[in-house]
Amino acid sequence: MKVALLIVDMQIGCREETPAKRSFDLAVEYINEISQYFRSKSYPVVIIKDIEVGSPDTEAFDCVDNLIITDQDRVIHKQHCNAFWETELDAVLKAEGVDGVIVSGFAVEHCVLFTYNGARERGYQVYLLQNGVAGYDEEEIKRIQLLRPIINYQALEYFL
């Protein structure tokens, strides 16, 4: 199985609007660890940016400074909550031979969950990244993770 890491909406504007900033910052740290692991194994890392946060020439549109991004990463701009809807994401993943995705990022109650569902609808094996999702409400983050398959660093090391 070839797996890609999707990093959804970890943008400056998103961090500014959430009351759960600590959760956001902790998710960035965990995503950085996992993304480095994916890159070391030559698995795709896809940065997804929401154009509703701000136009591409604004600071709000940029990813937060502490998120590690490399030139190898693919960047997808989306205008809907589901990163697969009206974007090239599915084609990019298929071209890479990807059949599984790990979804991480912000906001677990909206864009992360909708992207998760979009991946399932397209036949991907899909998981949420434990500790790698952020949202508006800590309790809602926990509830969503209880109802979806999650995967952590140790399990990824074993399977990949």
Q: What are phi and psi of 157, to 5 degrees?
A: -60, -40
Residue 125's domain comprises 3-159
Q: How far is CA 2 from CA 26, 125, 127, in A?
A: 26, 10, 13
Q: How many domains does the chain have?
A: 1
CATH, residue 125: 3.40.50.850
pLDDT tens-digit series, residues 31-80: 999 999 999 999 999 999 999 998 888 999 999 999 999 999 999 999 99
pLDDT band at 133 (very low <50, low <70, confident <90, very high): very high
